[in-house]
Amino acid sequence: MISIRNLSHVIDGRPILHDITLDLPRGGITALIGPNGAGKSTLLSLIARLTRIQQGQITVDDLTVGASSDRDLAQRLAIMPQQANVSARLRVGELVAMGRYPWNRGRPGYEDRAQVAESLAKFGLTQLADRFLDQISGGQRQSALAAMAHAQGTDYLLLDEPLNNLDISAARGLMRLLRDMADAEGKSILIVLHDINYAAAYADRIVAMANGRIAADGAPDGVLTPQLMRDVFSSDADIIRVNGRPVVVV
């Protein structure tokens, strides 16, 4: 379980997060939604230890973010980086193999190779393993990054707006794979999403944030209401139900 206790964060004198307390139990997909500047990405980067915690505490199972060793945390919690941040000129296979680093410290063994082959196959990248990252499409690149996070073999996976710049087929493909990782492998996935409809369609739980506070929390059915659209997103978008799921009409 990821527990967040009394987390507050200030950037340049501007409060970003106000006293957030949130529990994310094992299993399932939790989507963080909210308007721009609500603090979703800050919250994610604090859990991911990309930003130093100023006030409050975050624990992942028995590990404390900021206090436990980086290696232990890396074996428990994977972060999928955004495409623009991955700079090296690498082959897909090499990138995915880097996911094993927390376990092998750069010296891959038989198990590591097997895990990498499995991750490549799962994300449909086996054929592309020898291609360079700048020779494949944006969707394939995103899959490669997801495959790397998968190869890391952690219980928890954090993703910050992974659907940016993806077309609908790539976006749905990625979300389906995440859904499968949660269902078949029991992984706990925390994902920041901009598109509420993707959150409604694929997440088990939605946490809506506004002005650095948690505005709503629960199953998509209960959270996505016209009132939430008004209060949190300042939008009069309608919500209708299709096949039993809430859908925001844009």
Partner 1 sequence: MSSRLLALLALLILSAAGFLFLGAEGPWAFLLPFRGAKLGALMLVGACIATATVMFQTVTANRILTPSVLGFDALYVLVLTVFVHGLGAQAAGLVATPAMFVINLVVMTALGLGLFALLLRLGSGEMLKLVLTGIVIGIAIRSFTGFLQRMIDPAEFQLVQAGSFARFTYVDPLMLGIGALVAVPALALAWRLRFKLDVLALGPTAATGLGEPPRRVQMQALVLICVLIAVATSLAGPLVAGSSGPSNFFGLVVAALAHIATPSPRHAILMPSAALIGGCILIGGQTIMERVLHLATPLPVVIELLGGLLFLTLLLKRRAA
Query: Contact positions toward partner 1, by CB under 8 A?
Result: 48-50, 69-75, 77-82, 85-90, 94-95, 98-99, 101-102, 105-107, 134, 148-149, 152
Cβ distance 202 to 223 under 8 Å?
Answer: no
State how beta strands 205-210 and 28-33 pair.
parallel
Cβ distance to partner 1 smaller for residue 137 or 225: 137
In whole angstroms, the minimum distance from the beta carbon of 207 to partner 1 comes to: 21
Query: String of b and e for 23-38 (b: at least 16 CB within 10 Å)?
Result: ebeebbbbbbbbbeeb
Place of tokens 């598109």: 195
**Collapsed DSSP state (helix, strand, coil) of residue 196:** helix
98 versus 239: smaller Cβ distance to partner 1 = 98
To partner 1, the closest distance from the beta carbon of 215 in angstroms equals: 27
**Least distance (Å) between residue 142 CB and partner 1:** 14
Radius of gyration of the chain (CA): 18
Q: Which is nearer to partner 1, 29 or 97 (CB)?
A: 97
**Choice between 86 and 239, CB closer to partner 1:** 86
> Given the complex with partner 1, which of 16 and 151 has the nearer CB atom?
151
Torsion of CA 66, 175, 239, 232, to 10 degrees: 20
Give whichever of 34 and 102 is closer to partner 1, judged by the CB atom. 102
SS3 per residue for 138-166:
HHHHHHHHHHHHHHCCCCEEEEECCCCCC
Q: What is the DSSP letter of 200?
A: H
Residue 48 Cβ, how far from partner 1 at the closest point, in Å? 7
CA torsion through residues 158, 49, 3, 247, sign: negative
Query: Cα separation of 216 and 193, whole Å?
Result: 15
DSSP class of residue 132 equals B
Minimal distance, residue 91 CB to partner 1, in Å? 8
Give min distance, CB of 125 to partner 1, in A: 17
